[in-house]
Amino acid sequence: MTIQKTLSYHIKQAFKELYKSEIEAVEFQATRKDFEGDITVVTFPMLRVVKMNPVQLGTSLGSYLVENVEEVKDFNVVKGFLNIVIADSYYLNYFNAVKEEETFGYVSPKENDTAVMVEYSSPNTNKPLHLGHIRNNLLGYSVSEILKASGKKVYKTQIINDRGIHICKSMLAWQRYGKNETPESTGLKGDKLVGNYYVKFDQEYKREIENLVSQGIPQDDAKKQAPILLAAQEMLRKWEAGDTETVELWKTMNQWVYDGFETTYTNLGVDFDCYYYESDTYLLGKEFVAEGLKSGVFFRKDDDSVWCDLTADGLDEKIVLRADGTAVYMTQDIGTAIQRIKDYPDIGGMVYTVGNEQDYHFKVLFLILKKLGFDWAKNLYHLSYGMVDLPSGKMKSREGTVVDADDLIVEMTSTAQEISQDLGKLEGYDKDEKQSIYGTIGLGALKYYILKVDPKKRILFDPKESVDFHGNTGPFIQYTYARIQAILRKANFDTSIMISEISLHEKEKELIKQLQLFPEIIQNAAQNHSPALIANFAYDLVKEFNSFYQNVSILGAQNQEEKIFRVQLSKLVASTINNAFSLLGINVPERM
């Protein structure tokens, strides 16, 4: 039981015994630094129940707690605030109860609990992953891990957009200009090779538009009449008709991209439990439109198109079937959601990690699924996030000005190397050790910089600023972890002895208080789908440890009991940093 629950119970008892009254809740807050105490009770709301002076009420309650609660050592009252001093024994008992938990703060899933499916990444197969995809992948992966740590069973998935005009553009350009190039013959990752031909298509398309405009054709007409675009549209028709040659080329080039993606996912440290492909799902959903027509969820217009009227819900009318009977993206998303529940019957909810430009789409999707009568639709969540910008401006895929994910990972490693060398951080390490640590620091810096920001906020990403060994950065936290490991290696004495009676230094107590927050932080992060809460907890923990480290001697403590306890405390801090960072997908180096 937390100290808040213990105090709350006894304060309610006090009201019954002292004032013959009852209160519903007790309000707590952190004690201000300039007052003595560990936790503060706000008495003002209680004055509605008991009409008395707030100082008198605080004094009365404080005296009751000292007499009846062994965890309460002392108290003081400042105006209407009851500052409670908690006995050292409480913190020691708590610490001893959790210090050996390898996954301190985590909750194991219950046997029959429903699962959550988290969708993220979901790229197109016409280009490599870029910086925007990195934020998507890091958010989706981290939220999945946080949900697991909160006690949920989780399936990680993505839907790969492997069909449509975009891939046909790359296929056509490769056919015309590729000279049978392959990833093997060029030494390029397959996604990069296919992406190059997407850029090539755009270059040729623009050239043809200019040529048509020079012949007197209006710009808008020229865009529609460009021969290369018409050829790509014809290729898409052939694919949809099952033309053997077109389908084989589509399979070949998509496989190049899948192989390239897997390399990037491995380097980024994210994974998936299952995959969905748009080429398999684009026909899903039509049967549910037919059922929805019968039940009145949808209606048919005069041109035979089918719509859902959401105006009564504050939204617009939304088309779900075109006049020719073909599906739109909304139809496909309805069908895919239902298919996932069929594939994984234990799913009770889904999280869609998609940029905020799709906010309206998901409002509509979730509402339609509710109207269709699916109970799990109330547990759908759009993990909406802001875009990632660079100091140089916005990225454009078709113009080849995106920040490639693989290139950024390499750049982060190089930036970590440059800054580490300037600071002399890794002197005395061999070449392989250094390279491994540079990679850990660089990737950790990238992930932390992106995940410490609330998902809804836009990010201006600066690689050099992210690799800083001071302030709220990944390397700063990693360095503190490595520092603790160095302390543990020097502790050449038995640290397994339980210390149950010791007078705690104020800095030790503050550190245990910070550690106590971790289980609740995980639950809050899961509820809010926000890795930023975990990231900023880790930073606060590290700040608290560094204050402890600067004010209290660990290995030079006056007696052996103090020395053992402080090593044990440092070890739990390191373990908690590791646990927090693992939820963000970040590794921690044993040495730095």
pLDDT computed for residue 467 by the predictor: 84
pLDDT computed for residue 203 by the predictor: 96
Topology given in CATH for the domain delimited by 405-583: Isoleucyl-tRNA Synthetase; Domain 1 (1.10.730)
**Site of tokens 């090593």:** 567
pLDDT computed for residue 520 by the predictor: 95
In three-state secondary structure terms, 119 is: strand
Per-residue pLDDT at 400 exceeds 50 = no
Per-residue pLDDT at 397 exceeds 80 = no
Q: Are 88 and 109 in contact (CB under 8 A)?
A: no
What's at 127, amino acid-wise? K
| Entry pTM | 0.91
Q: What is the DSSP letter of 87?
A: P
Task: Using only the alpha carbons of the chain, give its radius of gyration.
Answer: 30
Return the higher-pLDDT residue of 83 and 392. Answer: 83
pLDDT, mean of residues 251-280 = 96
pLDDT, mean of residues 551-560 = 93
Query: Any idea where the domains of the chain sit in the sequence?
Result: 3-86, 164-248, 286-326, 405-583
Using CA atoms, how far apart are residues 590 and 81, in angstroms rounded to an integer? 44
Residue 251: φ, ψ to 5°: -60, -45
pLDDT computed for residue 394 by the predictor: 47
Per-residue pLDDT at 429 exceeds 90 = no
Using CA atoms, how far apart are residues 275 and 258, in angstroms rounded to an integer? 11
- Whether 405-583 and 3-86 are alike in CATH topology: the answer is no
Topology given in CATH for the domain delimited by 3-86: Gyrase A; domain 2 (3.30.1360)
pLDDT, tens digit, for every residue of 344-381? 999 999 999 999 999 999 999 999 999 999 999 999 99
pLDDT computed for residue 425 by the predictor: 67
Q: Are 416 and 436 in contact (CB under 8 A)?
A: no
Using CA atoms, how far apart are residues 411 and 407, in angstroms rounded to an integer? 6
Where does the pLDDT of residue 428 fall: very low under 50, low under 70, confident under 90, or very high at 90 and above? confident
Using CA atoms, how far apart are residues 164 and 125, in angstroms rounded to an integer? 10
Where does the pLDDT of residue 418 fall: very low under 50, low under 70, confident under 90, or very high at 90 and above? confident
Distances (CA, A) of 502 to 86, 430, 464, 498: 14, 43, 45, 11
* Residue among 437, 441, 447 at smallest CA distance from 268: 447
> Within 10 Å of residue 572's Cβ, how many Cβ atoms?
19
Per-residue pLDDT at 125 exceeds 80 = yes
Where does the pLDDT of residue 431 fall: very low under 50, low under 70, confident under 90, or very high at 90 and above? confident
pLDDT computed for residue 417 by the predictor: 87
Using CA atoms, how far apart are residues 225 and 231, in angstroms rounded to an integer? 10
pLDDT, tens digit, for every residue of 219-249? 999 999 999 999 999 999 999 899 999 999 9
Beta bridge partners of 85: 74
pLDDT computed for residue 398 by the predictor: 44
Where does the pLDDT of residue 105 fall: very low under 50, low under 70, confident under 90, or very high at 90 and above? very high
pLDDT, tens digit, for every residue of 150-202? 999 999 999 999 999 999 999 999 999 999 999 999 999 999 999 999 999 99
Per-residue pLDDT at 327 exceeds 50 = yes
Residue 32: φ, ψ to 5°: -60, 145
pLDDT computed for residue 402 by the predictor: 66
Distances (CA, A) of 136 to 129, 388, 448, 523: 10, 10, 14, 21
pLDDT computed for residue 326 by the predictor: 85
**Where is 516: in which H helix or E strand?**
helix 506-516
Q: What is the DSSP letter of 110?
A: P
pLDDT, tens digit, for every residue of 449-503? 999 999 999 998 887 888 888 889 999 999 999 999 999 999 999 999 999 889 9
pLDDT, mean of residues 563-590 = 97
Tell me the pLDDT of the chain averaged across its residues: 93
Using CA atoms, how far apart are residues 476 and 455, in angstroms rounded to an integer? 22
pLDDT, mean of residues 539-554 = 97
pLDDT, mean of residues 289-314 = 95
Where does the pLDDT of residue 112 fall: very low under 50, low under 70, confident under 90, or very high at 90 and above? confident
Q: What is the DSSP letter of 348?
A: E
Using CA atoms, how far apart are residues 40 and 14, in angstroms rounded to an integer? 16
Distant-in-sequence contacts of 403-407, Cβ < 8 A, 24+ apart:
403/130, 403/131, 404/128, 404/129, 404/130, 404/192, 405/128, 405/129, 405/130, 405/131, 405/133, 405/134, 405/264, 405/268, 406/128, 406/129, 406/189, 406/192, 406/263, 406/264, 406/267
Q: Are 85 and 62 in contact (CB under 8 A)?
A: no
Where does the pLDDT of residue 18 fall: very low under 50, low under 70, confident under 90, or very high at 90 and above? very high
- Reading phi first (left if > 0) and then psi (alpha if -120 to 50, else beta), residue 269 is in left
Using CA atoms, how far apart are residues 325 and 312, in angstroms rounded to an integer? 26
pLDDT computed for residue 8 by the predictor: 96
Q: Are 130 and 402 in contact (CB under 8 A)?
A: yes
C-alpha angle 317-319-322 in degrees, rounded to nearest 5:
150
Return the exposure string of 287-299: e unless at least 16 CB atoms fall within 10 Å of the residue's CB, then b: ebbeebeeeebbe
Return the exposure string of 121-148: e unless at least 16 CB atoms fall within 10 Å of the residue's CB, then b: bbbbbbbbbbbbbbbbbbbbbbbbbbbb
